[in-house]
Structure 1
Amino acid sequence: MPAPRVSLIIPTQRRLDGLATAARSTFAQAGVDPAVLELVVVDNDQVPSAQALIQTLAAEAPFPVVYVHEPEPGVANARNAAMEKAQGAFIAFLDDDEEAPAGWLAALLAAQAKYDADVVFGPVRGRAPAGVGKHRAYLEWFFSRVGDGPREGVIDHYYGCGDSLIRRASLPDPKAPFSAIRNHIGGEDDLLFGGMQAKGARFAWAPDAWVWEDPVPSRLTLDYTIARAFAYGQGPSAHCAISSPPDRLGVARWMAIGVAQAGVYGLMAGLQWLVRSPRFAFTLDRAARGLGKTLWWGPFKIHFYGLRAPT
């Protein structure tokens, strides 16, 4: 049997309902021959908690399903473990809280071929359940990726790994491209794509390659999203700091921008909270991102990934 042309990868950790939805959405892809596909699911739990589900799902699948157990916690560890087993010349990433419409993969592949892209990104549409009322508009926006909107084509920037198609030959390491230094804080995809961009990689945007994102209920709170916004804000400063050689001027510039953003948007958020403005959460988010640009080093790092299950 020839190697698959596209490996679909879903990293997961103790999220079986979302995983089942994401996996089944890959089975229903239209406009792509199933004979060129495989699905690789990497289980980043200490115990192989997703194995039984994947065995069940494999019986439904129109193409091979590969289960990988990576017990060492960390988002980069999980992605690299899947990459090691994946055989495709192209890698399509879907998160375990996402659901892909039937035309998703075909749209990614069409954009890749049209623009000869090394990486193609698509939009993400956040979807909160009916019971979420407070801050609903903000929460759905937070978990969305509007990106470049309806304009298809080559772009000079990059987005996250979820809902992306990567040409394997363009990766700096085709088997383990994600850096372990981002295992616990995330941003391993930003680090990879930033390095690829510096070496001339071509990125494209495919507006028709959109997916739903259904965050777990525990993430649909301001406590989670504002902490995550703070961590996102740390990205530009941290990236400059770990460059080789370190970009100290870049760090200083981002920190100065962060101080201004935190001050201005923090004051605005306080005023909006007093008058119960519906824009309060959006403005607080911007203040948190500014503060993250300023407080980006060691003791202020927040770990979102790679946590072991409680014992």
Structure 2
Amino acid sequence: MPKPAVAPSVDVCVCTYRRASLVQTLASIDAQVGVVGAVRILVADNDETPSAKPLVDGEAGRWPRVYLHAPARNISVARNALLDASTADFVAWIDDDEIADPTWLAALLAAIGDHDAAFGPVRAVYPSNAPDWILKSDLHSTRAVETRQGVVTGYTSNALVRRAAVGRERFLEALGRSGGEDTEFFTRLYGQGRRYVAAPEASVSEPTAADRLTLKWLTHRAFRAGQTHALTYVAAGQRGRGLVSAMAKAAACMGLSTVLAWNGVARRRLWVRGALHRGVAARLLGVRDLQLY
């Protein structure tokens, strides 16, 4: 008789830095339903002092918890500490200010199939005083982008990754303060043959801070994302091609935003999209990366 299938094990990984919201995140993980295999929660504290330890150890949860002190104020250091500590079949990623839907982990496991990673949506939760254009454009939410080649990169705000597919690869510490380290990481793995899938049913929600409800903040974030994306052109030896493409797309976005100046939502969307392409061009021209952390 064939042996029964063994339920997969999962290490749920959370990086944290001085956020009391970690308590709600951990509670939402403990509240997961439909998960059969063994689950652990690994928390990497990026603060210089072990400030999150009482939050992790203070109340016993449903799943075993492991606290890791990974100081440096460099998020790549924390992410790598989690990878070093993980021993499960899968590594799930969620941020310390997010709340997982009750079926989040089960939906990720159902979606991944024989792929190496699955990425679920992050729903932005806006305050009551958010500007109307913010609500309509919803630029703070995140979802997997499906291209002709499928999903070619990802993020750590909502993901499930096959641990064997990671191997010895790690997040770049050089990007640990500027951000975009997760995009670079998954783009690099994709270039090595890993394959991804979207998991639209595996949702988490994230409150949007008031200081992020501005065009300036969104432009800044998109510009930084472009700087990270530029690394794919550098790695492929296509710096010149990438520069020409980015400048053309940035010009097109600027032109269209002028044409659609009467449409506040479309104009702002195009401006933010153009910032991404400007970031690509800037990085390829040698401009120093923006620092977010």
The normalised TM-score by structure 2 is: 0.88
Structure 1 segment 258-269 matched on structure 2, within 5 A: 258-269=246-257
Q: Find the residue that maps to 1:185 and give its secondary structure.
A: coil
* Alignment partner, residue 46 of structure 1: 48
* Alignment partner, residue 169 of structure 1: 164
Q: Select the residue among 168, 176, 197 that pairs with 1:204.
A: 197
Q: What are the ranges of 5 or more consecutive residues in structure 1 without an aligned counterpart?
A: 306-311
Deviation at 1:271, TM superposition (A): 5.4
Deviation at 1:138, TM superposition (A): 5.5
* Alignment partner, residue 254 of structure 1: 242
Deviation at 1:238, TM superposition (A): 2.4
> For the residues of structure 2 that align with 1:86 and 1:261, how far apart are their CA atoms?
41
* Bigger mean CA deviation after superposition, 91-100 or 193-202: 193-202
Q: Which amino acid aligns with 1:82?
A: L
Q: Find the residue that maps to 1:164 and give its secondary structure.
A: strand
> For the residues of structure 2 that align with 1:185 and 1:214, how far apart are their CA atoms?
22
* Alignment partner, residue 39 of structure 2: 37
* Alignment partner, residue 216 of structure 1: 209
* Bigger mean CA deviation after superposition, 139-148 or 156-165: 139-148
* Preserved CA contact (<8 Å) 2:246 2:278: yes
**Is residue 154 of structure 2 the alignment partner of residue 159 of structure 1?**
yes
Q: Find the residue that maps to 2:71 and give its secondary structure.
A: coil
> For the residues of structure 2 that align with 1:301 and 1:229, how far apart are their CA atoms?
12
Deviation at 1:267, TM superposition (A): 3.5
* Preserved CA contact (<8 Å) 2:145 2:151: no
Q: Which amino acid aligns with 1:303?
A: Q
* Preserved CA contact (<8 Å) 1:97 1:215: no
Deviation at 1:158, TM superposition (A): 2.2
> For the residues of structure 2 that align with 1:180 and 1:70, how far apart are their CA atoms?
13
* Preserved CA contact (<8 Å) 2:111 2:199: yes
**Is residue 193 of structure 2 the alignment partner of residue 191 of structure 1?**
no
> For the residues of structure 2 that align with 1:209 and 1:118, how far apart are their CA atoms?
16
**Is residue 101 of structure 2 the alignment partner of residue 108 of structure 1?**
no
Structure 1 segment 58-69 matched on structure 2, within 5 A: 58-59=59-60, 61-69=61-69
* Alignment partner, residue 93 of structure 2: 93
Give the aligned CA root-mean-square deviation in angstroms: 2.3
> For the residues of structure 2 that align with 1:128 and 1:229, how far apart are their CA atoms?
19
* Alignment partner, residue 3 of structure 2: none
| Deviation by residue 1:199-254 (Cα, 9 ceiling, x = unmatched) | 2212122211121122333222222111111111223322322x2xx61xx22222
Q: Which amino acid aligns with 1:193?
A: F
The normalised TM-score by structure 1 is: 0.83
* Preserved CA contact (<8 Å) 2:39 2:64: yes
* Bigger mean CA deviation after superposition, 290-299 or 44-53: 290-299
> For the residues of structure 1 that align with 2:106 and 2:77, how far apart are their CA atoms?
28
> For the residues of structure 2 that align with 1:187 and 1:138, how far apart are their CA atoms?
25
> For the residues of structure 2 that align with 1:99 and 1:116, how far apart are their CA atoms?
27
* Alignment partner, residue 139 of structure 2: 141
Deviation at 1:185, TM superposition (A): 1.8
Q: Select the residue among 260, 269, 282 that pairs with 2:269.
A: 282
Q: Find the residue that maps to 1:142 and give its secondary structure.
A: coil
Q: Would you say how many aligned residue pairs link Structure 1 and Structure 2?
A: 284
Percent of pairs with identical residues = 31
